[in-house]
């Protein structure tokens, strides 16, 4: 079987969040399981691209309305990544030093058109097209409805929703950008009087998955307007829990961290990483260190952080370290807090892959007070590195973290309020005092297997079910 993943992000080529981690790992695991899984994504202007040599495999032009663009597809052999990679190069649209911007309609529509144009003339077509998020949401529609892609109609499509908050809406006036189709079918593109690529994918993809079973359930009641659509299409929808790439995320070999450690050497390895963080960020190494890594947005509960941290730090018993960027107002407040809680709190506002690994290896607890968390990879990385998660009871966090009181290994709070989060932090602080129990749990969580093996198989079973339908 031959599968082509279509995505805006893929680690290590271009990463904004967890989507990249998934698309950089799942195909690798699928290849190991005996199918051929490849990735196609945009060619951006970034460090990875500058450091590698690519071979051109396709040259053409596309029209977006009346504008013509020269396009190319470049490739990188499978050796380094564990899967064959294709990059769509549209210099004036995609080749930017960012992945997302406020004018993404044309960028990602052009990307999707190039992918399908290329497939039209490929001898060996994929058996499955696996599309990720709204940036690739028009592919299932175009394959079914656009006149020029008629010959691709029989290739099954799977759309994975990583986050239904973002849907890629654009006004109907831009419908002319989509390759010609029977206009009586425009309803398939529409949701609430806009063209909605994610809604179109839910309607047209052969199967729809979310990145955890609980998120699938939650979307029926809270999907940023798509609730009734998801309920209506529920027969073809399912939740498959994300995994993690245990080769990239391995404390024994991780080249980013200060000292590597195996299960047998947890205390000394973790101590070196914690000491580094505390020195770097002027924190007290004797206190339990709570950390947050991620996007500073409402879904992650970020607007509450200044107040949560301020309250939790009052008793002078803990340290907090934050790595993240996002809403400017929140960033500003988190910067100001540094002065109030000098020596107990610090933050790096920005994106730093290396630092994130050191934090997973050195913090005692990882905070994730998310209001919405389709899956969440951070808590699984934390477990793998022996950092105890303190999380809200939502989405993928529900499916991966069990509270210590229920024979589990983390601290779970039901609601995302300042009071509840601080209560969970306080429970963790008390737990930290019993170092025997604390170390036992640390050893236990490092052995939980969240590798992609199981879920990569689940996707293959889903693909097989579709190929059988043909």
List interacting residues with ligand ADP (CB under 6 A). Answer: 17-19, 21, 293-295, 323-325, 351-353, 356, 375-378
Q: Which candidate, 168, 41, 179, places its Cα nearest to that of 104?
A: 168
Return the one option of ligand ADP, ligand GLC, none that residue 378 interacts with (CB less than 5 to 8 A, by type). ligand ADP
- Cβ 291 to ligand GLC shortest distance, Å: 18
Contacts of 41 (CB under 8 A, 6+ apart): 6, 7, 8, 9, 10, 13, 14, 23, 85, 86, 87, 88
- Take residue 79 and report the two structure tokens written for it: 């050796």
| Residue 17 makes contact with ligand GLC by CB under 6 A | yes
Q: Residue 453 carries which DSSP code? A: H
Q: How far is the CB of 368 from ligand GLC (least distance, A)?
A: 10
The smaller minimum CB distance to ligand ADP, of residues 27 and 294, is found at 294
Shortest Cβ contact with ligand ADP: which residue?
18
400 binds ligand GLC (CB under 6 A): no
User: Which of the listed partners (ligand GLC, ligand ADP, none) does 324 bind, with a CB threshold of 5 to 8 Å by partner kind?
Assistant: ligand ADP
> What are the DSSP calls for 36-87, one per residue?
EEEEEEE--SSHHHHHS--EEEEEEEEEETTEEEEEEEEEE-TTTTTSEEEE
Member of 137, 374, 386, 410 binding ligand GLC (CB under 6 A):
374
Position 242 contacts ligand GLC (CB under 6 A): yes
Pick the piece of the chain touching ligand GLC (CB under 6 A) from 51-59, 88-96, 201-209, 372-380.
372-380
Nearer to ligand GLC, 375 or 425 (CB): 375
Q: How far apart are CB 173 and ligand ADP at their closest, in Å? A: 31
From ligand GLC, ligand ADP, none, interface partner of 293 (C-beta below 5 to 8 A by class): ligand ADP
Which residues, including other chains, have CB under 8 Å from residue 304's CB and lie 6 or more apart? 369, 416, 417, 418, 421
Site mask for ligand GLC (CB under 6 A), range 143-182, x = bound: -------------------xx-------------------
Give burial (CB, 10 Å; 0-12/13-18/19+) of 77.
exposed
Q: Does 302 bind ligand GLC (CB under 6 A)?
A: no
Among 104, 331, 373, 399, binds ligand GLC (CB under 6 A): 373
Q: How far is the CB of 170 from ligand ADP (least distance, A)?
A: 23
- Inter-residue contact 288 to 318 (CB < 8 Å): yes
Measuring CA to CA, which residue among 243, 244, 87, 239 is closest to residue 164?
239
Indicate whether 213 belongs to the interface with ligand GLC (CB under 6 A).
no
Taking the C-alpha atoms of residue 398 and residue 373, their distance in angstroms, rounded to an integer, is 9
Q: Contacts by 275-278 with C-beta closer than 8 Å and gap 24+?
A: 275/362, 276/358, 276/362, 277/321, 277/358, 277/359, 277/362, 277/363, 278/319
User: How far is CA 12 from its chain centroid?
Assistant: 13
* The two structure tokens encoding residue 270: 């973790």
Residue in this structure with the two tokens 């663009």, named with its chain if needed:
69
**Burial (Cβ within 10 Å: 0-12, 13-18, ≥19) of residue 325:** middle
Contact 55, 22 (CB under 8 A): no
| Interface residue with ligand GLC, options 213, 376, 389, 410 (CB under 6 A) | 376
With CB atoms as reference, the residue minimizing the distance to ligand GLC is 18
CB 268, min distance to ligand GLC, A: 31
Residues 6+ apart with CB under 8 A from 239: 209, 210, 211, 212, 213, 214, 215, 216, 217
Nearer Cβ to ligand GLC (35/211): 211
Q: Which of 6, 22, 283, 318 binds ligand GLC (CB under 6 A)?
A: 22
Q: How far is the CB of 239 from ligand GLC (least distance, A)?
A: 11
Cα distance between residue 12 and residue 7, in whole Å: 13
Q: How many residues of this chain bind ligand GLC (CB under 6 A)?
A: 14
Given ligand ADP, ligand GLC, none, residue 194, with its beta carbon under 5 to 8 Å by kind, binds none
Q: Per CB under 6 A, does 38 bind ligand GLC?
A: no
Min dist CB 8 to ligand ADP, Å, is 12
For residue 156, the minimal CB distance to ligand ADP (Å) is 26
- Only segment of 218-226, 253-261, 371-379, 419-427 that touches ligand GLC (CB under 6 A): 371-379
Which tokens belong to 370?
Answer: 């998310």
Residue 19 vs 142, nearer CB to ligand GLC: 19
| Backbone torsions φ then ψ of 115, nearest 5 degrees | -55, -45
| Binding status of residue 19 toward ligand GLC by CB under 6 A | yes
List residues near ligand GLC by CB under 6 A: 17-19, 22, 162-163, 211, 242, 373-377, 396
């Amino acid at each position: 079987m031959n599968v082509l993943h279509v995505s805006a992000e893929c680690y290590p080529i271009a990463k904004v969040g967890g989507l990249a981690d998934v698309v950089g790992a799942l195909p690798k695991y699928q290849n190991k399981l005996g199918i051929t899984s490849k990735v196609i994504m945009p060619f951006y202007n970034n460090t990875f691209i500058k450091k590698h040599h690519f071979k051109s495999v396709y040259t053409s032009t596309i029209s977006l309305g009346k504008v013509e663009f020269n396009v190319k597809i470049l490739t990188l052999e499978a050796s380094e990544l564990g899967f064959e990679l294709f990059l769509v190069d549209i210099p004036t649209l995609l080749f930017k030093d960012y992945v997302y911007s406020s004018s993404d309609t044309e960028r990602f529509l052009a990307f999707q058109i190039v992918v399908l144009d290329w497939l039209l003339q490929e001898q060996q077509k994929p058996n499955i097209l696996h599309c990720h998020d709204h940036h690739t949401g028009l592919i299932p529609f175009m394959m079914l409805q656009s006149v020029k892609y008629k010959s691709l109609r029989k290739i099954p499509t799977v759309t994975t929703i990583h986050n239904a908050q973002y849907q890629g809406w654009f006004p109907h006036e831009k419908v002319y950008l989509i390759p010609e189709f029977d206009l009586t079918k425009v309803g398939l593109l529409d949701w609430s009087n806009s063209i909605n690529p994610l809604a179109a994918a839910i309607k047209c993809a052969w199967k729809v998955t979310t990145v955890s079973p609980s998120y699938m359930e939650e979307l029926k009641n809270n999907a940023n307007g798509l609730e009734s659509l998801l309920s209506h299409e529920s027969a073809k929808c399912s939740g498959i829990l994300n995994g993690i790439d245990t080769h990239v995320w391995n404390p024994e070999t991780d080249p980013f961290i200060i000292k590597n450690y195996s299960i047998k050497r947890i205390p000394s390895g973790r101590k070196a990483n914690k000491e580094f963080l505390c020195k770097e960020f002027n924190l007290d190494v004797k206190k339990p260190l709570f950390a947050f890594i991620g996007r500073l947005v409402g879904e992650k509960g970020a607007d509450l952080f200044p107040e949560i941290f301020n309250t939790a730090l009052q008793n002078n018993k803990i340290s907090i370290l934050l790595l993240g960027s996002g809403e400017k107002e929140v960033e500003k407040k988190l910067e100001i807090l540094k002065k109030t809680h000098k020596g107990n709190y610090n933050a790096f506002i920005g994106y730093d892959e290396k630092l994130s690994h050191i934090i997973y290896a050195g913090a005692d607890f990882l905070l994730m007070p998310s209001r919405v968390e389709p899956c969440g990879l951070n808590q699984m990385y934390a477990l793998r590195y022996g950092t105890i998660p303190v999380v809200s009871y939502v989405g993928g966090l529900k499916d991966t973290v069990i509270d210590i009181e229920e024979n589990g290994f983390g601290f779970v709070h039901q609601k995302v309020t300042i009071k509840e989060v601080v209560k969970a932090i306080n429970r963790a602080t008390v737990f930290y005092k019993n170092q025997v129990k604390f170390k036992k749990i640390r050893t236990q969580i490092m052995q939980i297997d969240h590798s992609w093996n199981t879920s990569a198989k689940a996707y293959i079973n889903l693909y097989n079910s579709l190929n059988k339908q043909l």
